[in-house]
Amino acid sequence: MGNINTPASPRIFYQEDVDTSTWPITISGGTNSDPSGIVLGEDIVLTLANQYFIFGSEYVSFDGSGHTVTIQDVANYPGLVQNGLIDFIAETSTDGQGNVSVQNVGITTSGNSTLAPGAGWVGQAGFGIRSQTVSIYNCYSTGPISATKSGGILGTGAGALYGQITVRAIIAVDW
């Protein structure tokens, strides 16, 4: 698994999927009448910097279903979901997808996990850049926020330019 194209029903995702998947995983194939997505079936642990999800089309979602994602001993973690991209070195960006959501997930850390510069624990740098109808709700993070331009939920440049991100009921805690 490296790509998930699951219109009509969300893909239930377990720790076994974490351990056997090719990362990062692109979620795509959704339409207005037939969205695509991932729903966590249990708490999961990520141990590599390339273990994250990419929104590859409109009408996709990531639903933690009240579960927790633990980032364990990962230095410079870029964030759980990529939806658009900002490259600070090349000074370029890639537009995000619209009509997408991240919901009902908590991000915790263990060991020596840190954010990459500009990253957020939930959304990567540039999350939702130049896109419309992007939602993050009922999410929280408890990991350290120490990298340059990083954030607890979203990284730098989130929703930049004409993008709009709706954020509801989030908690960002820097222990």
Q: Give 106-150 pLDDT, tens digit per residue.
A: 999 999 999 998 899 999 988 888 888 888 889 999 988 887 777
Confidence of residue 174 (pLDDT cuts 50, 70, 90): very low
Confidence of residue 169 (pLDDT cuts 50, 70, 90): very low
Say how far apart CA 151 and CA 114 lie, in whole Å.
Answer: 11
pLDDT at 13: 95
End-to-end Cα separation, the chain, in angstroms: 34
Mean pLDDT lowest for which of 13-17, 18-22, 24-28, 160-164? 160-164
Say how far apart CA 77 and CA 112 lie, in whole Å.
Answer: 11
Confidence of residue 171 (pLDDT cuts 50, 70, 90): very low
* Residue tagged 């509801």 (tokens): 168
pLDDT at 133: 83
- pLDDT, average across residues 56-83: 96
Which tokens sit at 175?
């222990």
**What are the residues whose beta carbons fall under 8 Å from the beta carbon of 156, sequence distance 6 or more?**
86, 118, 125, 126, 149, 150
Q: Is 20 in a helix, a strand, or coil?
A: helix
pLDDT at 46: 98
Beta bridge partners of residue 67, listed in sequence order: 105
Q: Answer whether 2's CB lies under 8 Å from 26's CB.
A: yes
Q: Answer whether 52's CB lies under 8 Å from 78's CB.
A: yes
Confidence of residue 3 (pLDDT cuts 50, 70, 90): low
